Amino acid sequence: MDELNLVQAVNRALARAMADDPRVVVLGEDVGRDGGVFRATDGLFARFGEDRVIDTPLAELAIAGVAVGMAAQGLRPVAEIQFTGFIYPTIDQLVNHASRLRTRTRGRLACPMVLRSPSGGGIHAPEHHSESPEAMLAHIPGLRVVIPSSPRRAYGLLLAAISDPDPVVFLEPTRLYRAVREPVADDGEALPLDRCFVLREGRDLTFVTWGAMVLETMAAAERLAGRGVEATVIDLATLHPLDHETIVESVRGTGRCVIVHEAPLSGGWGAEVAARLAEHALTALLAPVVRVAGYDTVMPLPRLEAHYMPGVERVLAAAERVLEFA
Amino acid sequence: MTTTTYREAVRTALREALTRDSRTFLMGEDVGRYGGTYACSKGLIDEFGPERVRDAPLSESAFVGAGIGAAMAGMRPIVEIMTVNFSLLALDQIVNNAATLRHMSGGQFSVPLVIRMATGAGRQVAAQHSHSLECWYAHIPGIRVLAPGTLEDARGMLWTALQDPDPVVIFEHAALYNMEGELPDTAGPVDIERAAVRRPGRDVTLIAFGANLHKAMEAARLLAAEKIEAEVIDLRSLRPLDDATIMASVRKTRRAVVIDEAWRTGSLAAEVSARVMEQAFYDLDAPVGRVCTEEVPIPYPKHLEDAALPQPEKIVAAVKAQLGARA
C-alpha cells in the first residue's frame, strides 16, 4: 500500500473516480496541462484527455456555472477553485442554483457536482490565499460541506462526494497537503459523509475540530494524556449537515467541550456547534463550551500567521479553563 | 414630532448625507430616475443631480468595486445593492477588497464606504429575493454591520456610518419600509455601537434585530397577557456585537431566545447563543433558544412563507419551552 500525502490522496481519488465512472470530468484553472496549482490533478490530463480534464479561463463564476450545467445534464463534474479566497465569485451559482436545483425543479433535475478548493492558512501565502470561509458555505441549505483532515479521509470522502447525488463543497486544508503521509489503499472505497470521525476517545473532555486544526488538537490531547486527562477528539469532516448526535452524545459523557477552528471566531462554524450544545446538552455541561479560533481580524501576512492560527498552547489553555470548573 | 415612515426616514438620512458632505454620492441600480426599487431615493436625483445620484448598470460586482475605488480615493460613497440576494455577486469585492484594503496596504488606504441593502422575506417574492444573509457579513473581519429596526435608526445610522473610516454594511429589512411612526423633528445621527433594550422585563430575554424586532415585541405583548414579562433587546449592530448589553439582560432574566430570520444552521443566532453560553453560563436557567427560518428556499405561497419564517407565536412557544425547562 502506498504512503500518500493528502494532495496525492486527492489525486488518487480523482483518478479512481474518473476511471470508474465516465461521467466524471475535472475542470478549473490550470488543472489540465499544468496539473493544478498544488498538483492535485497531476497526470489526469495525460491519462484522460482534454475532454475530461478541462482547462478553464480565469473566471470562477463561469467554472461554477458550467459545473452546475454539466451536473444538471448528467455529468459528474469536479471543479477546482485555486484558493478559497477566490471562491466568492462562485457563491451566486452555489446558493441560487447548485444548492436548490433539486427543490426548484421538484426533483426533475439534480446537481451532483463537487467544488474542490484548498482552504486555510499556515503556508505563508499572501492575502486572499489563507482564509477559511467554511461557515458561509455551510449555512446554505442543500449544500454539503466536507473538509478532510488526513490522506485516507481525503481519499474516501472525495470519492463519496463525487458519487453523492447533490452538490458538495470539498475544502482541502492546504497546510495538510504535504504535512502527513499514511498508507492509502486505492480500493475505490468511499467513507461515509454526514458523519463525524471520533479520532480518540476519552472521558474527561471533548474536543470538536476539523481540517488542519485536527493536528494541533490531537497534539493537545496527547499532552493532556501525559498528565492523566483523557480527551475525546471529534473531527467533524462533514460540517453541513452536522452530525450533532455524535457530538452531543460525547459531551453528555464528558460534560466539557472545547471547539477548535481556524476561521475568525465571530460567526464561525464553532458558534453553530456551541449553539447546538446549548440546545441539546446544556444540562449535561459541567463548564461553558469554549471556542478556540482565529482572531476577528483579516488573515495576517506570514510573519504573524503563526500567532493568528490557534496552536497547541491556546488549545491547552482552553482545556485548562473548562477543566477548572468542578 | 412628525408622523413618517421607515422609507421616508431612510430618504431623509440620504438627503442629509448628500447635503452635509460634498464627497458623498449615492450609486446603485435604479436609484436615480426610477427613485430606487423601494423608493428610498425618490426625488433625490432632482435635488442633487445625476453626478451625485448615479444609476448603475445591473452589475453588482462592478458598481460595488467602483464604490470601493471612490472611497479609497477620498469620496464617501453610499452604494445601494437592491437586495442582499444580489450582493452575492459583489461578495468578492466586499470580502476581498473593501474589508481587507486597510490591512493589505499597511494602512495607506482606507475604504470609508457605506453599502445599504434590503434584506428579508415576508412579501411573497420567493426563493431568490427573500434571503437574510446578515450572518455572512457579520463573520467578515474588517467591516461593520448594522441593522436599523426602528425609524430613529433608519434616520440616524447612515450619517454615523459615513463617519466611520472603514466599510459599513447597513441592512434595511424590506418589510419595514412602510412602517409608520413618530419621529422627533430633532432626530439625527445615532450611535452605532450599542444594542438597545426596547422593552424591559424580568422573565426572559428576547434578542432580535431588524424587522424581527417587531415580531419579538409582539411576542412580548402576547406573553405579558399571560403575566410573563419579556425583555426585548434590539441588537442594532451585528458586527461587532454588544456583548455587555446582552449579558446584563440575560444575567437578570436567566433565559434567552434569539430571533433571526436567517436559516437556523450557521445563523447569527448561533453566534449570540454561543456567546451567552460562554459568558453567562452559570446564570442560565434553561438552554438558549433560537427561533429562525426553516432551512428551505423561501416558499412563494403565503401560508408556506409564513410557516417558514419566525413568527410571534413561535417566539411565544420557544419562551414557554424555556420556562418549562429547569437547569
ipTM of predicted complex:
0.93
* Straight-line distance from the first to the last Cα atom of chain A, in angstroms, rounded to the nearest whole number: 47
Highest CATH level, class, for A197-324: alpha beta
- Active site residue: B8, B60, B80, B271, which one? B60
* In chain A, domain spans: 3-183, 197-324
How does pLDDT run across B133-167, given as a tens digit for each residue?
Answer: 999 999 999 999 999 999 999 999 999 999 999 99
CA atoms within 13 A on the CB side of A299: 24
Residue of B92, B250, B279 to mutate for A, most A C-beta atoms under 10 A: B92
How does pLDDT run across A50-93, given as a tens digit for each residue?
Answer: 999 999 999 999 999 999 999 999 999 999 999 999 999 999 99
Of all residues in chain B, what percent carry a pLDDT higher than 70? 99
What is the rounded average pLDDT of the residues A291-302? 93
In chain B, positions 113-132, which contact chain A (CB-CB < 8 Å)?
A: 127-128, 131
- Indicate whether B326 pLDDT > 50: no
- Indicate whether B324 pLDDT > 90: no
* Cα–Cα dist A315/A313, whole Å: 5
How does pLDDT run across B292-304, given as a tens digit for each residue?
Answer: 999 988 999 999 9
- Indicate whether B129 pLDDT > 90: no
What stretches of chain A adopt beta strand conformation (E)?
3-4, 24-28, 53-55, 76-80, 114-119, 144-146, 168-173, 182-183, 197-200, 205-209, 231-235, 238-240, 257-264, 290-294
Q: Helix and strand tally (H, E) in chain A?
A: 12, 14
Cell numbers 430633532 label which residue? B186
Residue of A83, A94, A95 to mutate for B, most B C-beta atoms under 10 A: A95
Domain A3-183 and domain A197-324, same fold? Reply is: yes
As given in the structure block, the three cell numbers for residue A56 are 478553464
For residue B70, the tally of other CB atoms under 10 A from its CB is 19
DSSP one-letter code for A53:
E
The answer to whether A124 is a known catalytic residue is no
- Active site residue: A97, A129, A240, A244, which one? A129
How does pLDDT run across A89-111, given as a tens digit for each residue?
Answer: 999 999 999 999 998 899 999 99
CB within 8 A of B210, min separation 6: which ones? B119, B120, B134, B147, B148, B149, B171, B173, B176, B261
Nearest to A91 among B88, B104, B288 (CB): B88
What is the rounded average pLDDT of the residues B276-300? 94
In chain B, positions 284-323, which contact chain A (CB-CB < 8 Å)?
A: 284, 286-290, 295-297
* Cα–Cα dist A79/B111, whole Å: 33
Structure confidence at residue B40 (pLDDT): 97
Domains in chain B (CATH in brackets) are: 2-183 (3.40.50.970), 196-324 (3.40.50.920)
How does pLDDT run across B24-67, given as a tens digit for each residue?
Answer: 999 999 999 999 999 999 999 999 999 999 999 999 999 999 99
Q: Does B138 touch chain A (CB under 8 A)?
A: yes
Contact indicator for B319, B206 with CB cutoff of 8 Å = yes
How does pLDDT run across A214-260, given as a tens digit for each residue?
Answer: 999 999 999 999 999 999 999 999 999 999 999 999 999 999 999 99
In chain B, residues with a C-beta closer than 8 Å to the C-beta of A136 are 136, 139, 266
What is the rounded average pLDDT of the residues B200-211? 98
Structure confidence at residue B325 (pLDDT): 57
* Cα–Cα dist A2/B67, whole Å: 53
- Active site residue: B80, B129, B134, B172, which one? B129
* Cα–Cα dist B322/B91, whole Å: 38
CA dist A151 to A7, A156, A186, Å?
A: 7, 9, 11
- Indicate whether A124 pLDDT > 90: no
Rounded to the nearest integer, the mean pLDDT of chain B is: 96
Give B290→chain A minimum CA distance, Å.
9
Q: Look at residues A262, A210, A253 and name the one whose alpha carbon lies nearest to residue A232.
A: A253
Tell me the pLDDT band of B327, cut-offs 50, 70 and 90: very low
Asked if the Cβ–Cβ distance from B288 to A275 is below 8 Å, we say yes
Range A3-183 classified under CATH 3.40.50.970: yes
Q: Does B99 touch chain A (CB under 8 A)?
A: yes
What is the rounded average pLDDT of the residues B197-216? 98
What is the rounded average pLDDT of the residues A157-176? 98
Asked if the Cβ–Cβ distance from B295 to A242 is below 8 Å, we say no
Asked if the Cβ–Cβ distance from B287 to A267 is below 8 Å, we say no
* Cα–Cα dist A326/B214, whole Å: 41
* Cα–Cα dist B15/B234, whole Å: 26
What is the rounded average pLDDT of the residues B212-228? 97
CA dist B20 to A76, B111, B159, B163, B251, Å?
A: 56, 19, 9, 12, 42
